[in-house]
Chains A and B, each alone.
Chain A
Amino acid sequence: MFGVMLYGQWKWSRLIIVLATVAGFALPIISVQGAAQSELSPLRVEELLDAVQKWGVLYPVLAAALGLLVAITTWAPDHRGRHVHALSLPLPRWRYVLLRFSSGAVLLAAPALAVLAGSLLATGTATIPPGLQGYPVALALRFALAVVVAYAVFFAVSAGTARTAGVILGLIGGVILVQIIANVANLNLDLFDRLQILVLNWPGPLAIFTGRWMLIDV
C-alpha cells in the first residue's frame, strides 16, 4: 500500500522535490563562496559571516515553501475527488491519513539530504578562517526538522474541511477585532506581539524557523 501511495505522491510532487533538492544543495555552496581565500583579514571574516547569515535566511523560507507545496499536492487528488475514492478504500481513515502523510514525508528526505550534502561539500572545500567552525550536520538537521514542521502544519490545515477553514479564519478575525477594540479603547494590549512570542519563540511550535541559520559560525 505504501509503495503505491509513494508512487502517486512522487508523480504529483516530483517537480517541487527536484527543484527543492537542487536549491537545497546549491544554497550552502553559494553561501560560503567568500571563504575561498585562506588568509582572511578580521574585516573579511566579518563579511563572510555576514554573507552566511544573509544566505541563511533562505533556509527557513525554502523549508516553509517546500512543506506547504508538498502538503498541498498530498491532498490535492483527494480534494478533487471529494475524498470518495479514499473513503471507499478498505482501511481505517487514520491509516489512510498516515499513509498519505508518510508518503509525502519520505519524499522530503531528498531536499534535506541535499542540504546535508551541499553543506558538507561547502565546508569541506572552503578554507574556514581560524576561530570559525562549520556546522553542516546541525544545519541539515535543523532544515529537515523545519521542513517536517512546515509539512505537518500545512498537511493538517489542508486536510481540513471548509468548515475548519472557516473556524480558523474566524479565530484570526476575532483576534484582529479584539486588537482594534483594544487600540480604540487605549488599552495596553498587544495581541499580535503576544501571539508572535507564543508561536515563534522557544518552545513555540514555529520557533525552529526563527533565529540565525549559520553554516559557518564562531
Chain B
Amino acid sequence: MNHAIETQQLHYRAGKTFEIKHLDLHVAPGSIYGFLGPNGSGKTTTIRLVLGLVRPLAGRITVLGCDVPRDAPRVLARVGYVPEQPHLDPTLTVRETLRFQAAFYATWDWPCAERLRRQFELDEPMAFGHLSKGQKGKLMTLLALAQRPELLVLDEPTDGLDPVVRRDILSALLDYVSERHATVFVSSHLVHELERICDWIGVMDNGRLVIELPMERFKNGIKRLRVAGAPPRVAGPPFVLLARERANGAVETWIVREWEPEMARYFESIGASLRDVIDLDLEEGFVELLRTFRVLRP
C-alpha cells in the first residue's frame, strides 16, 4: 500500500534535550489522521520533518510517493500546510497575501479562494497584522484549501480559537475533504476535536510514537474494568493491560486496550470476576495511554 505519508526509523535531534527516535508513521491515502500528543511531544517537529522544513539525522520520509527532503518542492506543491503560528508578512493585506500565495501554486483556485474569503468574512484591504487570531486562522486555512492540495497538513489549526471560528474552519476543511477525497494529517492536543473528525489516530509522547491505529479501534478498545479477586500477578491476558489500580477492598480498576467482549472469560480462568466494563472516551483513553507509556518507558 502506498501511504500518503510514511516515515521509517526517523531520527532527529534539536539541542541536547529533545529527540525524535525511531518514528514509523503510516498515513493512509484518503484518511483523516489525528496526530495527538501533549505540548512538547514532537508533533510540530514531526510535521516540519514530513514537509522537509528541517532535515532528519537518519531515516526515510515519503510523502505522496516522493522522497523528502530531496523532492520537498514537488511535494509542497501538492500539500496545503497550516502552521501552528501564522507566519505571514504582517504588512500585506488579505488581497495581497492571496496574490502572493497564488503566484507559487499552479493549482491555485481563485473562485474557491474568493468563496472562502466571503464565507470567512475576511476584508480584502485589511493588513494581515491587523487581523484577529480567528481571522488569521481562517486566512491560513483559506490559503491551504485554495491551492487544491492532495494532502492537508494542519498543525493545531484551531488552537486558541473560539468555538464559532473552530466550527467554521473545521466545516470548511471537512467540505473540502469530502469533495476532493484529500488526505488530512492534523495535529492537536484537543482530543475531543479529533475524536469527531478523524478515522486514524497516532499518539506521540516525548519524541516517540506511542500508538497508531484506527480511531474506532482506539475508542472501542480502551476500557476501564472493575475486577474482583484477581491474583497479584497475571500471565498472558488476551488484551493489553495498561494500568492496574486498587480501588476499594478487593476490587481493582484495570485500564485495558484491545478489549473484546468475549475476553470476559479470561477472568474466570484466573479465578477473578469481572464486575463492570466501562467505556472510556478518547480523552480518558489518551491520558491513560500516556500514563502507562511514561511508566513503562526505559
Contacts and interface: CB of A to CB of B under 8 A. Distances in A.
B76 A90 contact: yes
Given A84-B83, A88-B53, A4 B103 contact: yes
B87 A81 contact: yes
Contacts of B75: 90
A7 B83 contact: no
Interface string B79-101: 00101010111111000100110
Contacts of B96: 7-8, 11
A13 B146 CA distance: 29
A80 B90 contact: yes
Given A4-B100, A92-B73, A87 B91 contact: no
Interface residues of A, number: 19
Contact of A89 (B83, B89, B104): B104
Contacts of A3: 103
B266 interface: no
Contact of B87 (A4, A84, A92): A84
Given A4-B99, A87-B53, A88-B83, A77 B74 contact: no
Nearest to A1: B103
Contact of B88 (A7, A81, A91, A92): A81
A77 B89 contact: yes
A162 to B, nearest CB: 13
A146 B12 CA distance: 43
B53 A85 contact: no
A8 B90 contact: no
Given A88-B81, A92-B73, A77 B104 contact: no
Nearest to A81: B87
A8 B104 contact: no
A8 B83 CA distance: 21
Contact of A1 (B74, B81, B104): B104
Contacts of A8: 89, 92, 96, 100
Contacts of B76: 88-90
A90 B87 contact: no
Given A4-B100, A88-B51, A82 B73 contact: no
The A interface is mostly helix, strand or loop, or mixed, namely helix
A55 interface: no
Contacts of B52: 87
B126 to A, nearest CB: 15
Given A4-B99, A4-B103, A90-B104, A85 B88 contact: yes
A1 B92 CA distance: 16
B83 A11 contact: no
Given A7-B96, A8-B92, A91 B87 contact: no
Contact of A12 (B91, B99, B105): B91
Interface in A12-68: 12
Interface string B21-56: 000000000000000000000000000000111000
Contact of B53 (A1, A11, A84): A84
Given A4-B100, A8-B92, A12-B91, A90 B83 contact: no
B104 A91 contact: yes
A37 B87 CA distance: 59
A84 B53 CA distance: 7
Residue of B81, B87, B105 ringed by the most chain A CB atoms within 10 A: B87
A82 B77 contact: no
Contacts of B53: 84, 87-88
Contacts of A89: 76, 104
Contacts of B99: 4, 7
A77 B89 CA distance: 6
Nearest to B80: A88
Contacts of A88: 51, 53, 76, 81, 83
B91 A11 contact: yes
Contacts of A1: 103-104
Contacts of A4: 99-100, 103
A197 to B, nearest CB: 41
A81 B89 contact: yes
Nearest to B99: A4
14 contacts: A1-B103, A7-B96, A7-B100, A8-B92, A8-B96, A80-B87, A81-B89, A84-B53, A84-B85, A85-B87, A85-B88, A90-B74, A90-B104, A90-B105
Interface of B: 51-53, 73-77, 81, 83, 85, 87-92, 96, 99-100, 103-105
Given A8-B96, A8-B100, 7 more contacts: A4-B99, A8-B92, A77-B91, A85-B89, A89-B104, A90-B77, A90-B104
Nearest first, the 3 A-B pairs at minimum CB distance are A81-B87, A90-B77, A90-B76
